[in-house]
Structure 1
Amino acid sequence: MYLASDLRKGLKFEIDGDPYVIVGFEFKKPGKGQSLYKCKLKNMITGVLFERTYRSGEKFKRADLEEQEMEYLYSDKDNCYFMNTSNYEQHPLTKDQLGDAIDLLKDNTICIVLLHNGLPIGITLPNFVNLEVVQSEPWAKGDTATGSTKPAVLETGLEIQVPPFIDQGQMVKIDTRTREYVERVNE
């Protein structure tokens, strides 16, 4: 169990059987009375945001969350399928649960899947992924302005900005946290 004094940004706890994460936090100590903890909460299953204020002394149930290393296998119309690398069980996640992460997923990518009561609710991508450029304008020789970039479409459909020397068919390293080009990958 957590106490109100344990509340802070990033803490995960359970309300009415659903896991929530604190995405915003403010502590207030009025001149008289109990301390107040104003929290902006996000439902980890539905993504709904709301604010709630708690008083010191309140208790919260720890969320039953578990992280498992899983491999991305494939997707169909509605779901993406991940395989637990230790017991080979497959778990589907909806494309809504994945959100923007779907633009960086390629077959056989190892991810961390967050489970609540044994059911998958979200993923954490590796910090970097290597993806192939499938569409890019050719480089105009002599176009060497510092910091110049051009659009490129990756094998997952994501469009990013890359340096002008990156051509179609090359592999590039992408930072999954910023969704930006890091470097060219030589295979």
Structure 2
Amino acid sequence: MIEAAELEAGNTVRLDGDIYHVLSAEYHAGGGQFGGMVFVRLKNLKTNHVRELRFHPDDKLQDVALERQVMEYLYTDGDAFYFMHPETFEQLSLAREAIGPYEKFLQPNMRIPVELFEDTPIRVVFPETVELKVVVAPPGLREHETATYKTVVLENGLEVLAPQFIKEGDIVKVEVATGKYLERVRRDGKKG
């Protein structure tokens, strides 16, 4: 059990029979007759719905320990995404809702952590950034080389705004949460 005052982003709790991931938890001190409250944003790991609740600081919640295993993404079949454990070759599937809007960042044979609860896959833990190849990039404009951005298409079909010097074949780093271009990755391993 964990007290509401100890909750922080990243915790996992069971509430009303469902498993929730804590997105944020803020303690607000009370005044006068009103005691302090903990305002919590929770994401249901089964349905992906977000709830906002408030608790008294000493309310007890059931904390849940999730097991994290690195799996290899295999393929998608309808609304199911299939992953394989690289050592045991055991396969498991997750519903499209568990992947959420980040499905465009899954690439075949990509190794990625999957969180399990009682041997049931709950969610995929995406990295903060991914490196993707640029497949379509219009030529840059000389007079606006550093001040303006152009739209490029990445290997996963995502369109991002990138600097004028980015060209087809470049590898770029993209932030997963926002889909925003961060930087070019040079072939020799240095960032550009």
Shorter-chain TM-score: what band? 0.7 to 0.9
**Equivalents in 2 of 1:34, 1:165: separation in Å?**
56
When normalised by structure 2's length, the TM-score is: 0.81
Summarize the alignment of residues 45-84 of structure 1 with structure 2, pairs less than 5 Å apart. 45-84=46-85
* 173-182 vs 155-164, greater mean Cα deviation: 173-182
Match of 2:126 in 1: 125
Answer yes or no: is the 8 Å Cα contact 1:64–1:117 preserved in 2: no
Answer yes or no: is the 8 Å Cα contact 1:174–1:183 preserved in 2: no
Summarize the alignment of residues 158-173 of structure 1 with structure 2, pairs less than 5 Å apart. 158-173=158-173
1:100 aligns with 2:101: yes
Summarize the alignment of residues 108-147 of structure 1 with structure 2, pairs less than 5 Å apart. 108-140=109-141, 142-147=142-147
Shift, 1:33, TM fit: 6.8
Answer yes or no: is the 8 Å Cα contact 1:130–1:172 preserved in 2: yes
Match of 1:5 in 2: 5
In structure 2, stretches of 5+ residues that fail to align are none
1:179 aligns with 2:179: yes
Shift, 1:47, TM fit: 1.9
- Give RMSD over aligned pairs: 2.5
Match of 2:44 in 1: 43
Match of 1:155 in 2: 155
Task: Provide, for residues 14-73 of structure 1, a one-character-per-residue CA deviation record: whole Å limited to 9, x for no partner.
Answer: 113311133343333343475433323221221222233323443211114221111212
Structure 2 vs 1, CA of residues 14 and 136 (structure 1 numbering), >3 Å: closer, same or farther?
Answer: same
Structure 2 vs 1, CA of residues 5 and 176 (structure 1 numbering), >3 Å: closer, same or farther?
Answer: closer
**Equivalents in 2 of 1:185, 1:74: separation in Å?**
29
**Equivalents in 1 of 2:47, 2:16: separation in Å?**
14
1:14 aligns with 2:42: no
Structure 2 vs 1, CA of residues 115 and 143 (structure 1 numbering), >3 Å: closer, same or farther?
Answer: farther
**Equivalents in 2 of 1:53, 1:8: separation in Å?**
13
How many residues align? The count is 186
Answer yes or no: is the 8 Å Cα contact 1:166–1:184 preserved in 2: no
**Equivalents in 1 of 2:77, 2:57: separation in Å?**
47
Q: Percent identity?
A: 32
**Equivalents in 2 of 1:151, 1:33: separation in Å?**
52
Q: Could you list the runs of 4 or more consecutive aligned residues of structure 1 that deviate by over 6 angstroms after TM superposition? A: none
**Equivalents in 1 of 2:127, 2:53: separation in Å?**
33
In structure 1, stretches of 5+ residues that fail to align are none
Task: Provide, for residues 83-109 of structure 1, a one-character-per-residue CA deviation record: whole Å limited to 9, x for no partner.
Answer: 123422222122332122112221122
